Amino acid sequence: MKWHLIEYGVQTGRENMDIDISLARSCGQDEAFFRLYGWNPYCISLGANQKFEDIDTERTSKESIDIVRRPTGGRAILHAEEITYSVIIPYSHDLTPKKIYKAVSLALIEGLKLYDPVFEELKLEDENPHFPSLLRQPEGVLCFGSAAKNEIKFRGKKIVGSAQRKMDKVILQHGSILCGRFHRRLPEFVSVDDPTRRSLSKEMDDKTIEIESITNTKTDYGRLSECLKEGFSKFWGINFESVKNSKSAFLFQQS
């Protein structure tokens, strides 16, 4: 299989989602993509079935925060100080969506361990929450309010959130690797009353963590990107056969 690497680049929320969707639609049965990216302006993404009414658009507008819908499931994420990844790969009887999800998470752990030895403590969540019950709760609107099976945690707190979707014969999987604390402000932009907002903020503090809170240093995004690429390549046993930047990927999806 030929693996394409798309280097880290920063786009709007709409552009980022369009690139991921286009790569999934154009992916052949003998190729796969690994992409790293950021968001400018900061952006709240909603799961495919989530309501825009969950978000207070007046507040997001005042702070110049975009809103976009993801093609994948899951719940709201405030994309800010993070590296986002996407993987597009054909699935089969031997390489099922569940196996892909777990393998991608393990590959990301390899990259994070290269970035800092403290991440030897990273573990995969081993259970799924009861999603029907969770979604009826106020915290059900927040992706980082809970962890799904095989998402990545550090000392019991979620540090990487991921979502997946089948598109024809390929899997699109993407997720957020939390670097700074800005993502914790998401409850400020949720359409709830003040007591509920305070409860959601506590939920975020109790259940999430980010690289900078673990290492007590500012994230070196360039080095982190290199470590993630190296860890991914090592875990999957691959050499990336072609390299594109995010701008060329965006132009590709426009053609």
> Which domain does 106 fall in, by range?
2-254
Q: Which residues contact 133 (CB under 8 A, 6 or more apart)?
A: none
Residue among 78, 90, 249, 108 nearest 180 (CA): 78
Instruction: Return the amino acid letter for 51.
Output: K
The tens digit of pLDDT for each residue in 145-184 reads 667 889 999 999 999 999 999 999 999 999 999 999 999 9
CB atoms within 10 A of CB 175: 25
| Sign of the Cα pseudo-torsion (209, 215, 216, 219, in order) | negative
Give the integer Cα–Cα distance in Å for 252 and 255: 5
The per-residue b/e assignment along 242-253, b for 16 or more CB within 10 angstroms, e otherwise, is eebebeebbeeb
- Asked whether 105 and 150 are in contact (CB, 8 A), the reply is yes
At 146 the pLDDT is 65
What pLDDT is stored for residue 218 in this prediction? 98
Options 27, 43, 143, 179, the catalytic residue = 143
Q: What is the pLDDT of residue 138?
A: 53
Instruction: Quote the pTM value.
Output: 0.91
Q: Please name which of 67, 59, 96 lies closest in space to residue 173, comparing C-alpha atoms.
A: 96
What the block records as the tokens of 142 is 């927040």
Q: Pick left, alpha or beta for residue 237 (phi over 0 → left; psi -120 to 50 → alpha; otherwise beta).
A: left
DSSP the chain: -EEEEEEEEEE-HHHHHHHHHHHHHH--TTEEEEEEEEESS-EEEE-TT--GGGB-HHHHHHTT-EEEE-SS-S-BEEESSEEEEEEEEE--SSS-HHHHHHHHHHHHHHHHHHH-GGGGGEEE--S---HHHHHTSGGGGBGGGS--TT-EEETTEEEEEEEEEEETTEEEEEEEEE-SSGGGGGGGGBSS-HHHHHHHHHHHHHHB--HHHHHSS---HHHHHHHHHHHHHHHHT----EEE-HHHHHHHHH-
Tell me whether residue 143 is one of the annotated catalytic residues. Answer: yes
Confidence at residue 180, expressed as pLDDT on a 0 to 100 scale: 98
| Per-residue pLDDT at 131 | 46
Query: pLDDT value at position 134?
Result: 46
Q: What is the pLDDT along the chain (255 residues), one digit of tens a residue?
A: 999 999 999 999 999 999 999 999 999 999 999 999 999 999 999 999 898 999 999 999 999 999 999 999 888 999 999 999 999 999 998 999 999 999 999 999 999 999 999 999 999 999 765 445 545 555 556 766 667 889 999 999 999 999 999 999 999 999 999 999 999 999 999 999 999 999 999 999 999 999 999 999 999 999 999 999 999 999 999 999 877 776 555 555 554
pLDDT attached to residue 84 = 98
Number of domains in the chain: 1
CATH, residue 235: 3.30.930.10
